[in-house]
Structure 1
Amino acid sequence: MSFTRTFVRGLLCASVAIPAAAMAQAASNSAPDPAAETFGAGEIVVTAQRRAERLQDIPATISALDADALAKSGVLDITNVAPRVPGFYAGGFGASRPQLYIRGIGTRQFDPGSESSVGVFVDESYLGRTGAVLGALKDIERVEVLKGPQGTLYGRNTIGGAINVLTKAPTDELSAEFEGTYGNYDYIDVFGAISGPIAGDVLKARAALWHSKRDGYVTNLTTGNRPQGLDNWGGRLRFEINPSDNVKIDLIGEIMRDKGRSFQGESIGNVLDPTNTLLGNANDGQQTLSDNPYKQYYTTDPAFDRNIDSFTGKVDIDLGGASFVSVTSYRKMKYTDDRDFDNTSNDVIRQITAERSKQFTQEFRLVSDPNGSLSLGGLVDWIVGVYYYHDKSFHSDTFDFGPDSIVGEGGVDVTFGNYKTTSTAVFGQATFHITPTLDLTLGGRYTEDRKRAQLGGTTTDALPLVPANFLVDNPKVKFTSFDPKITLSYRPNRDLNLYATYSQGFKSGGYQYTPLTATQAGLIFQPEEIDAYEVGVKSVWGGGLARVNAAAFYYDYKNLQVSTVVQLPDGSTPSLITNAGTSEIKGAELEVSLEPVKGLTFNAAYAYTDAKYDRYLGPPTAAFPSGADFGGTRMVRAPKHSLNLSGEYVLPIGDESDVTFRADYSYISKFYHEPGEGQLAYGTTIPLTVEDGYGLLNARITYNMGGFYASVWGRNITDKLYRRTILALPGQVINLYGEPQTYGITIGYKY
Structure 2
Amino acid sequence: MAQQVDSATGNAVADAGEIIVTAQRRSERLQDVPIAITNLDSGRLAKANIQTLQDLPRIAPTLKGGNGPGTSGVRLSIRGLGSLGNSAIEPSVATFVDGVYIARPGAMYGALLDLDAIEILSGPQGTLFGRNASVGALNIRTKAPSDRFEGNIGVEAGTGDRYRLDGAINVPLGQDVALRVAGLAQLFDGYWKTTGTGGRSGVDNFAGRATLRARLSDKLTWTGRGDYTLTRGGGWQYTPLIAKSLTPATLAALTARIGAPSDLDRDDGTTNQYTAGNHVDSKHWGVSSQFDLELGDFAVKLTDSYRDWNNLEQDGDGSFLPILLLARDNFWRSKSNAHELQLSSPTDLLGGRFSFVSGVYYYHEDLRINYNFNLSPDFCRIVAPSTATAACLANPRNPAALFVFNQRTSSFAGYLQGSFKIVPSLDLTLGARYTHDDKDGSFIGRNFNPAAASIQTNETTKLSYAEGRWTYRANLAWRPSRELMLFATYSTGFKSGGFNSGNSNAALGQLRVFNPEIVKDYELGFKFQTRDRVLTFNATAFRMDVDDFQERALFGITPVVQNVGSLRQQGIEAELTVRPVEGLQLNTGIAYLDSKFKSYPNAPNIPGFTPATHDLSGFPLTFSPKLAGTSGVEYSVPVGGDMRISLRGDISYTTKYYAGTTIDGNPYTIQPGYSLLSARATLFGRDDNWSIALFGDNLADKRYCTNIAVQVFDAPLGLRNPTTGTGLRCFVGNPRTFGARLTKNF
Question: Would the TM-score normalized by the shorter structure come out above 0.5?
Answer: yes
Tell me if structure 1 keeps the 8 A contact 2:525–2:541. Answer: yes
Unaligned runs of at least 5 residues, structure 1 = 1-28, 568-572
Matched, 1:348 2:343: no
Q: Which residue type is aligned with residue 460 of structure 2?
A: L
Return the match for 1:563 from 527, 552, 576: 552
Tell me if structure 2 keeps the 8 A contact 1:601–1:648. Answer: yes
How many percent identity over aligned positions? 32
Give the superposition deviation at 1:287.
6.1
Deviation per CA, 1:564-622: give whole Å up to 9, x if none: 2223xxxxx42221111101111012211000001100001111000111112224888
Tell me if structure 2 keeps the 8 A contact 1:461–1:467. Answer: no
Q: Which residue type is aligned with residue 144 of structure 2?
A: A
Tell me if structure 2 keeps the 8 A contact 1:31–1:51. Answer: no
Return the match for 1:329 from 276, 289, 305: 305
Q: How does 1:234-633 map to 2 (within 5 A)?
A: 234-264=207-237, 265-268=239-242, 270-272=245-247, 282-283=257-258, 286=261, 289=264, 290-339=266-315, 340-371=317-348, 375-405=349-379, 406-407=383-384, 411=397, 412-463=400-451, 464-466=453-455, 468-474=457-463, 476-517=464-505, 520=508, 522-523=510-511, 524-541=513-530, 543-567=532-556, 573-616=557-600, 617-619=602-604, 623-624=609-610, 627-633=613-619
Q: Which residue type is aligned with residue 416 of structure 1?
A: V
Give the superposition deviation at 1:366.
0.4
Distance 1:221 1:279, change over 3 A: closer
Unaligned runs of at least 5 residues, structure 2 = 385-391, 715-725
Q: Which residue type is aligned with residue 644 of structure 2?
A: D
Matched, 1:206 2:191: no
Tell me if structure 2 keeps the 8 A contact 1:455–1:521. Answer: no
Matched, 1:693 2:660: no
Paired with 1:151 and 1:697, the residues of 2 have a C-alpha distance of 35
Give the superposition deviation at 1:301.
1.0
Residue aligning to 2:719: none
Paired with 1:30 and 1:122, the residues of 2 have a C-alpha distance of 21
Matched, 1:727 2:709: yes
Deviation per CA, 1:432-469: give whole Å up to 9, x if none: 11111000000011111111110121222223324532
Tell me if structure 2 keeps the 8 A contact 1:697–1:715. Answer: yes
Q: How does 1:46-57 map to 2 (within 5 A)?
A: 46-57=21-32
Tell me if structure 2 keeps the 8 A contact 1:59–1:499. Answer: yes
Deviation per CA, 1:97-117: give whole Å up to 9, x if none: 2111110111114412x2000
Distance 1:158 1:187, change over 3 A: same
> SS in structure 2 opposite 1:434?
strand
Q: Which residue type is aligned with residue 692 of structure 2?
A: A
Paired with 1:32 and 1:208, the residues of 2 have a C-alpha distance of 30
Return the match for 2:197 from 204, 223, 234: 223
Paired with 1:137 and 1:277, the residues of 2 have a C-alpha distance of 45
Give the superposition deviation at 1:156.
2.0
Tell me if structure 2 keeps the 8 A contact 1:188–1:212. Answer: yes
Distance 1:209 1:271, change over 3 A: same
Paired with 2:444 and 2:262, the residues of 1 have a C-alpha distance of 34
Give the superposition deviation at 1:33.
12
Tell me if structure 2 keeps the 8 A contact 1:635–1:675. Answer: no
> SS in structure 2 opposite 1:156?
coil
Deviates more, 1:717-726 or 1:444-453: 717-726
Paired with 1:212 and 1:632, the residues of 2 have a C-alpha distance of 46
Residue aligning to 1:645: 631
Give TM-score scaled by structure 1 length: 0.90
Deviates more, 1:239-248 or 1:94-103: 94-103
Tell me if structure 1 keeps the 8 A contact 2:661–2:708. Answer: no
Q: Which residue type is aligned with residue 398 of structure 1?
A: N
Residue aligning to 1:90: 65
Return the match for 2:694 from 712, 725, 729: 712
Give the superposition deviation at 1:403.
2.7
Paired with 2:258 and 2:367, the residues of 1 have a C-alpha distance of 39
Paired with 1:582 and 1:422, the residues of 2 have a C-alpha distance of 28
> SS in structure 1 opposite 2:133?
coil
Deviation per CA, 1:640-673: give whole Å up to 9, x if none: 1001001100011236310000011100110002
> SS in structure 2 opposite 1:560?
strand
Give the superposition deviation at 1:232.
0.3
Tell me if structure 1 keeps the 8 A contact 2:660–2:709. Answer: no
Distance 1:580 1:721, change over 3 A: same
Distance 1:287 1:552, change over 3 A: same
Distance 1:521 1:381, change over 3 A: farther
Tell me if structure 1 keeps the 8 A contact 2:75–2:105. Answer: no
Q: Which residue type is aligned with residue 146 of structure 1?
A: L
Paired with 1:274 and 1:575, the residues of 2 have a C-alpha distance of 27
Give TM-score scaled by structure 2 length: 0.90
Tell me if structure 2 keeps the 8 A contact 1:445–1:484. Answer: yes
Residue aligning to 1:702: 682
Deviation per CA, 1:511-569: give whole Å up to 9, x if none: 113131488364311111011000001001363110011110011111110112223xx
Residue aligning to 1:162: 137
Matched, 1:180 2:175: no
Paired with 1:214 and 1:30, the residues of 2 have a C-alpha distance of 41
Paired with 1:76 and 1:627, the residues of 2 have a C-alpha distance of 41
Deviates more, 1:517-526 or 1:601-610: 517-526
Deviates more, 1:134-143 or 1:602-611: 134-143
Give the superposition deviation at 1:233.
0.4
Paired with 1:517 and 1:292, the residues of 2 have a C-alpha distance of 36
Paired with 2:454 and 2:262, the residues of 1 have a C-alpha distance of 23
Deviates more, 1:726-735 or 1:506-515: 726-735
Q: Which residue type is aligned with residue 650 of structure 2?
A: D
Structure 1 segments, 4+ long, off by >4 Å, are 29-34, 273-281, 284-288, 619-626
Give the superposition deviation at 1:400.
1.9
Matched pairs, number: 704
Distance 1:284 1:647, change over 3 A: farther
Tell me if structure 2 keeps the 8 A contact 1:470–1:517. Answer: no
Q: Which residue type is aligned with residue 603 of structure 2?
A: G
Paired with 2:337 and 2:97, the residues of 1 have a C-alpha distance of 14
Residue aligning to 2:389: none
Return the match for 1:634 from 617, 620, 623: 620
Paired with 1:236 and 1:367, the residues of 2 have a C-alpha distance of 28
